[in-house]
Structure 1
Amino acid sequence: MEIFERLESNVRGYCRSFPTVFHTAKGAALVNENGDKYIDFFAGAGALNYGHNPEVLKQKLIEYLTSDGVLHALDMSTTAKRRFLEKFEELILQPRNMDYKIMFPGPTGTNAVEAALKLARKVTGRHNIISFTNGFHGMTLGSLALTGNSGKRAGAGVPLNNVTHMPFCDYLGTEADTIAALERFLEDSSSGVDLPAAFILETVQAEGGVNIGTRSWLQALSDLARRYNVLLIIDDIQVGCGRTGPFFSFEPFDLKPDIICLSKSLSGYGLPMALTLVKPELDIFEPGEHNGTFRGHNAAFVTAAAALEQFWQDDSLTRKVNRNARQVRDALLDIAANHDAEVRGRGMIQGIEFADASIASAISQEAFKRGLIIETAGPNDEVIKTLPPLTISDEQLSRGLQILAESTIAVTTKEPELVS
């Protein structure tokens, strides 16, 4: 570990939670240099929905590389891009009767969000964006301005402007009508809130603590956007690509976003890739007005097309997610029942919030010692978050949940001063 400590920046984070040197990975398992195996309930922060090194995708990538396929082409047309576009239209857009133009904004999620913000402001001529408490949208300045977490925001070093933060769903409690409050700000010219270009939100706030937007709240927000001619941007970067069951997290709610941001598991292989989906009438950027050197990652196009073919020809993956989600929820409810804790989430992103904010981090540390990689979420890391690959075997899922339960018991039965 000495080389990492000596040369790598102090800003590194996840390696501190999981202090070992990983060597190989397959499916839902990681193996370190000593041969120790870990069940992965983290999945690259949601970038590995189909697991590590899925075989079919790996073979397609190897074939492309050995045939000297184009790897870098900026936004020029390539056979790899064409195949991805064809498969995305055939397997994702057409079956859902969705009509969007596809923008390749750059390789990461924050690139997709930045492009969405620029376009929304250009289309409407307005500067303000409304985002929601506990939202997380990225670490570049525009995306960071949308993000609620004070620790992340502090890294900017400059004021983060042109954004108004409003309460997300049950942020003020289940009895509060946060949509009515938001509308009051919009309708009152003396509220001090400029009419926004867009609302941007996650249907499940992953980093913010696994907070879910309810059907009624999401539909009311969509209606409000239409009434005030405000664009609706859905950030599906962490909870899209099947994480909640369907390909898009918003599908069960009959939402029709104006702009959709995708990344993380889109490539299917952990390769950097992002999309900004835009309704055709909003596609008003001039050629080159928004660009980037790595907005055409052809290796990612290859694995993304293969992932769509492998996992989205039918609803088999969605049915597996729904089945496994019930198992996860039952296991988490059993854990929470014996502690001052609350279970929340949808699909294969679920978590337990503990009243004692220190417990979740301690459980993560204990689980790592027992062979499980699991992270925390929420403003105070008070939520232990399950985020396994969607393709995880039943045996691995059961064993991972067992380790989580054992780790919780080990942590909560220690003397208080030993809990960190």
Structure 2
Amino acid sequence: MQLFETYESEVRSYCRNFPKVFVTAKGSSLTDETGRTYLDFFAGAGALNYGHNPDDMQKALVRYVTSNGVTHSLDMYTGAKREFIQAFQDIVLHPRGMSYKMMFPGPTGTNAVEAAIKLARKVTGRSSVLSFTNAFHGMTLGSLALTGNETKRNGAGVPLNDSPTLPFDGYFGKDIDTIDILDQYLSDPSSGLDKPAAFIVETVQAEGGVNPARFTWLRRLARLAKQHEILLIVDDIQVGCGRTGPFFSFEPAGIQPDLICLSKSLSGYGIPLSIVLIQPQWDQWSPGEHNGTFRGHNLAFVTATQALQRWKTDELSQAVLDKGELVEKALEEIADQYPDEQLKVRGRGLIWGLDFQDSEKAGAVARCCFEAGLIIETAGAQDQVVKVLPALTISPEELANGLNILKSAVARVCATTAEPVGHSLS
């Protein structure tokens, strides 16, 4: 690892938490150069919903590359793009009664957010975009302005303007509906809050600490946006593509946002790809008004088209919900074993958080997990939440194994403050 430490920038992050050189990966496992295998509860920060190197995507990708398929094409028409667009329309949009134009803004999630807020400002003629406490939308200046985390914001080096922040669902506890606060601000001409071009929201705040919004709250937000002629942008970059069960995380709320940002697991293979879904009336771009050199990533189109085949039935969606129930039950049992720790469990589908309300303990648990062969990360304003984020395709045996490692790690860290009592995960 000396080479990395000598020549790679100090900005490197995850490698500090997982200081091994990984050389192969398959399914829910990574193997380092010594031959040790680790179970993956990290899933590429949500970019590997289908695990590492899924067979069908791997074969499609190799076949495409070895047949000299077009790799780079800007936004020119290609066969790979056509197949992806057709599959996305037929498998995702049409069955859900959704009518959207597809924009390919560039390879990453922050590219999608930047394009969405740029378009919202263009079509409304307003400059501000309202986000919510503990949000994370990206690290480029526009998306960073919409991100709540102080440490990340401080890295901007310039003022982050036109980005008012109001409380997310549950920010003041379950008994206060923060939509009432937002409605009051928007309805009062003396509130000092200029009408924004858009609201941007994550239905489950992942990096913010695994904070799920209630469906009733999301419905009220959508109605409020329509009432005040404000666009609603859903950032489904980390919790879309089936992470919460349905393909889109907002489906159970019964809403159809004006703009939708997707990335991370969209390609299905960990290859960069992002998309902005735009309701047709808002697709007011002029040709080339927003562009990017790598917005036509054909290798990603190939694997993404293959990944979409999993959504022709409800089988994967139901499996995610079933596995999610197992995770929730296991985490609740862990929390019950240590009442003095006041651990909180939050999540949906296959994204769950165990909130220690203490960054040192959460970090210690993650380190203990890694020592025992489980890769798991922390999240939240102070990294106080251990985030469970396995592949959607993880086997029941692997899931149980990982949860038992987590249980043992919590026991090790909390042993000095509480004696385990009650339930067992086995």
TM range (shorter): over 0.9
Kept after mapping to 1: 8 A contact 2:201/2:235: yes
Counterpart of 2:373 (choices 347, 371, 374) is 371
How far apart, in 2, do the equivalents of 1:89 and 1:27 lie? 28
Please name the residue that 1:331 is paired with.
Answer: 330
Please name the residue that 1:257 is paired with.
Answer: 257
Residue type of the alignment partner of 1:25? A
The yes-or-no answer on 1:387 pairing with 2:386 is no
Deviates more, 1:194-203 or 1:167-176: 167-176
RMSD: 0.9
Residue type of the alignment partner of 2:306? A
How far apart, in 2, do the equivalents of 1:107 and 1:356 lie? 35
| SS of structure 2 residue aligned to 1:219 | helix
Please name the residue that 1:149 is paired with.
Answer: 149
How far apart, in 2, do the equivalents of 1:25 and 1:385 lie? 21
State the 1:376 CA deviation. Answer: 0.5
How far apart, in 2, do the equivalents of 1:9 and 1:337 lie? 42
| SS of structure 2 residue aligned to 1:241 | coil
The yes-or-no answer on 1:18 pairing with 2:31 is no
Please name the residue that 2:320 is paired with.
Answer: 321
How far apart, in 2, do the equivalents of 1:415 and 1:93 lie? 51
Residue type of the alignment partner of 1:50? Y
Please name the residue that 2:401 is paired with.
Answer: 399
Kept after mapping to 1: 8 A contact 2:108/2:263: yes
Alignment of 1:113-124 (within 5 A): 113-124=113-124
State the 1:356 CA deviation. Answer: 2.8
How far apart, in 2, do the equivalents of 1:216 and 1:308 lie? 29
- The share of aligned pairs that are identical, in percent, is 59
| SS of structure 1 residue aligned to 2:364 | helix
How far apart, in 1, do the equivalents of 2:359 and 2:304 lie? 38
Q: Cα deviations across residues 333-368 of structure 1 (Å, max 9, x unaligned)?
A: 011112320100000000111133321111000000
Q: Cα deviations across residues 60-88 of structure 1 (Å, max 9, x unaligned)?
A: 00000000000000000000000000100
Please name the residue that 1:222 is paired with.
Answer: 222
Deviates more, 1:32-41 or 1:171-180: 171-180
State the 1:266 CA deviation. Answer: 0.1
How far apart, in 2, do the equivalents of 1:356 and 1:293 lie? 43
Deviates more, 1:350-359 or 1:386-395: 350-359
The yes-or-no answer on 1:66 pairing with 2:29 is no
Q: Cα deviations across residues 381-405 of structure 1 (Å, max 9, x unaligned)?
A: 1110000000001111000000000
Alignment of 1:303-318 (within 5 A): 303-309=303-309, 311-318=310-317
State the 1:92 CA deviation. Answer: 0.2
State the 1:173 CA deviation. Answer: 1.3
Q: Residues 414 and 36 of structure 1: is their aligned pair in 2 closer, same or farther, counting only changes over 3 Å? A: farther
How far apart, in 2, do the equivalents of 1:407 and 1:179 lie? 38
Counterpart of 1:343 (choices 345, 353, 356) is 345
State the 1:415 CA deviation. Answer: 8.0
Residue type of the alignment partner of 1:65? V
Deviates more, 1:184-193 or 1:100-109: 184-193
Q: Cα deviations across residues 73-122 of structure 1 (Å, max 9, x unaligned)?
A: 00000000000001000100000010000000000000000000000000
Alignment of 1:108-147 (within 5 A): 108-147=108-147
Kept after mapping to 1: 8 A contact 2:357/2:385: no
Please name the residue that 2:283 is paired with.
Answer: 283
Structure 1, unmatched stretches of 5+, are none
Q: How many residues end up aligned between the 2 structures?
A: 415
How far apart, in 2, do the equivalents of 1:272 and 1:414 lie? 44
How far apart, in 2, do the equivalents of 1:366 and 1:160 lie? 37
Please name the residue that 1:104 is paired with.
Answer: 104
Residue type of the alignment partner of 2:350? M
Q: TM-score, normalised by structure 1?
A: 0.98
Residue type of the alignment partner of 1:4? F
How far apart, in 1, do the equivalents of 2:117 and 2:196 lie? 11
How far apart, in 2, do the equivalents of 1:216 and 1:316 lie? 26
State the 1:414 CA deviation. Answer: 4.6
How far apart, in 1, do the equivalents of 2:139 and 2:328 lie? 31
Moved over 4 A (4+): none
Q: Cα deviations across residues 310-334 of structure 1 (Å, max 9, x unaligned)?
A: x111011001101100110111001
Please name the residue that 2:421 is paired with.
Answer: none
Please name the residue that 1:171 is paired with.
Answer: 171
| SS of structure 2 residue aligned to 1:163 | coil
Please name the residue that 1:359 is paired with.
Answer: 361
